[in-house]
């Protein structure tokens, strides 16, 4: 049997509410031009106290697989590596935070790029659901209930691109579609790249991984011969849950980021700097993607 074209690895940690939407957005019914034979999804439950059911995951399609890790390291690095090892796809998509809903052409555009360039590194812009940065909005009344109502108001998942009506670019300085980039919650790369760089560095062992995701982005985008693409008009949309930096107060988030920075300097032997990557863009800009 041929390996699937893409394997998506999704890490869950106490995300019973959020996982349903994330997985639905990865289903063949939602992703355009993909049938279950073309790809698979490996959901890795990373030691959650409140895990989802295996049957719930499998309910999204025959191509959905569930792996439950018991007492794993607190960082998602090991869980990602576990999912990478379990999967067989020629491309691997890493969703480090399973609370992100995707738009429907992420997989199709990734496949197009893989057909046109030798080593595509595909990245997807991140958005917060709600009217602003969730560390702020959650201090001012934004809750899971408000979010549920918003998603209901746009009729998700019927018209998925209406997500842009209820979302905000992640990042204090509003990067926009063409701004600099150093992290994504949906990184799709050829398996060979992960093999060569050795996957995720498990020395990033903080809960949430600290700069694990930045480190992974940096090492993939600097891979020799890689062409880095940002998908235009596509996005990943963060649902509010108790994330390690996304859903704590701004002061607390700052303090944690400083610790992560120190970890990075210790592991890599140099301070973290945003990589200077030559990005290219690919995609269609739905009128609603101008709203954010």
Partner 1 sequence: MSLGPSGALELSVVVVTYRMRREAPRTLYSLSTAYQQGVSDNRYEVIVVENPSDEMLSAGTVQSFGPQFSYCTNPQPSLSPASAINLGARQALGRHLMLMIDGARILSPGVLGETLTALRLYDQPVVATLAWHLGPDNQARSIHKGYSRQVEDRLLADSGWESDGYRLFSISSLAGSCGNGWFFPITESSCLTMSREHYEALGGYSEEFQSPGGGLINLDFYARAVANPARPLVILLGEGSFHQVHGGVATNRSDDEPLRLFREEYQRIRGRPFTTPHTTPIYFGPMPESAKPFMRRSFNKAQELYRQRYPYLRDASLQSMKEPGPKPGDAQAPRPQSRSLTVLGMHRSGTSALAGSLMECGVDFGNVSHWNRHNVKGNNENQAIVDLHDRLLADAGGAWDAPQDVVPWESRHRQARDMILAQLRTTRSAWWGFKDPRTLLTLEGWREAEPGMRFVGVFRHPETVAQSLVVRSGLSRSHGLDLWLRYNQRLLALYKQQPFPILHFSDNPEDFLQQLHRLAALLELPTPPGGLRFLEPELLHAAPLHTEPLPRPVARLHDELHAVAFYRPEIQSLLRQTRQPA
> Contact residues for partner 1 (CB under 8 A)?
112-113, 115-117, 130-132, 136-137, 139-142, 146, 150, 165-166, 176-178, 232, 278-285, 287-288, 290-291
Cβ proximity to partner 1, 195 vs 290, nearer residue: 290
Based on CB atoms, which residue is closest to partner 1, 105 or 219? Answer: 105
Q: Classify residue 174 as left (phi > 0), alpha (psi -120 to 50) or beta.
A: left
Q: Count CB-CB contacts under 10 A for residue 6.
A: 25
d(CA 166, CA 188): 25
Residue 68 backbone dihedrals phi, psi, to 5 degrees: -110, 120
Q: How far is the CB of 130 from partner 1 (least distance, A)?
A: 7
Instruction: State the nearest-atom distance from the C-beta of 104 to partner 1, in Å.
Output: 15
Q: Which is nearer to partner 1, 50 or 254 (CB)?
A: 254
Tokens of 243: 């994330």
DSSP string for 28-44:
TTTSTT--GGGEEEEEE
Q: Which residue has the tokens 């049957």?
A: 55
User: Least distance in Å: CB of 108 to partner 1?
Assistant: 11
| In the complex, least distance from residue 53 CB atom to partner 1, rounded to whole angstroms | 33
Alpha helices in 68-190 (DSSP H): 76-86, 106-116, 134-137, 144-153
Query: Of 167 and 189, which has the nearer Cβ to partner 1?
Result: 167
CB of 37 vs partner 1, minimal distance in Å: 21
12: helix, strand or coil: strand
In the bound state with partner 1, the residue whose beta carbon lies nearer, of 141 and 224, is 141
Whose Cβ is closer to partner 1: residue 40's or residue 234's?
234
Distance of CA 55 to the CA centre of its chain: 23
- Separation between Cα atoms, residue 88 and residue 94, nearest integer Å: 13
Q: Which is nearer to partner 1, 28 or 166 (CB)?
A: 166
Are 105 and 231 in contact by the 8 Å Cβ rule? The answer is yes
Contact (CB, 8 A) for 242 and 14: yes
């Amino acid at each position: 049997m041929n390996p699937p074209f893409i394997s998506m690895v999704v890490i869950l940690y106490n995300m019973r509410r959020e996982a349903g939407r994330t997985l639905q957005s990865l289903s063949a019914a939602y992703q355009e031009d993909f049938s279950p034979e073309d790809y698979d999804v490996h959901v890795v439950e990373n030691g959650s106290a409140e895990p989802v059911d295996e049957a719930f995951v499998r309910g999204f399609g025959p191509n959905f697989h569930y792996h439950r890790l018991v007492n794993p390291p607190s960082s998602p690095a090991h869980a990602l590596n576990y999912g990478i090892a379990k999967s067989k796809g020629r491309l691997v998509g890493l969703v480090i935070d399973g609370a992100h809903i995707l738009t429907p052409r992420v997989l199709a555009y990734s496949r197009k790029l893989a057909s046109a360039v030798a080593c595509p590194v595909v990245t997807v812009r991140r958005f917060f659901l709600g009217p602003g940065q969730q560390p702020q909005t959650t201090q001012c009344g934004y809750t899971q209930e408000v979010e549920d109502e918003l998603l209901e108001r746009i009729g998700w998942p019927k018209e998925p691109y209406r997500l842009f009506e209820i979302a905000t670019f992640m990042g204090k300085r509003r990067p926009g579609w063409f701004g600099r980039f150093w992290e994504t919650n949906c990184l799709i790369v050829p398996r060979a790249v992960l093999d060569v760089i050795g996957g995720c560095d498990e020395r990033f062992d903080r809960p949430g991984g600290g700069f694990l995701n930045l480190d992974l982005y940096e090492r993939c985008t600097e891979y020799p011969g890689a062409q880095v693409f940002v998908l235009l008009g596509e996005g990943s949309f963060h649902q509010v849950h108790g994330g390690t930096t996304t859903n704590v107060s701004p002061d607390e988030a700052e303090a944690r980021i400083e610790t992560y920075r120190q970890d990075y300097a210790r592991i890599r032997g140099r301070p973290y700097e945003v990589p200077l990557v030559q990005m290219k863009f690919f995609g269609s800009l739905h009128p609603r993607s101008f709203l954010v």
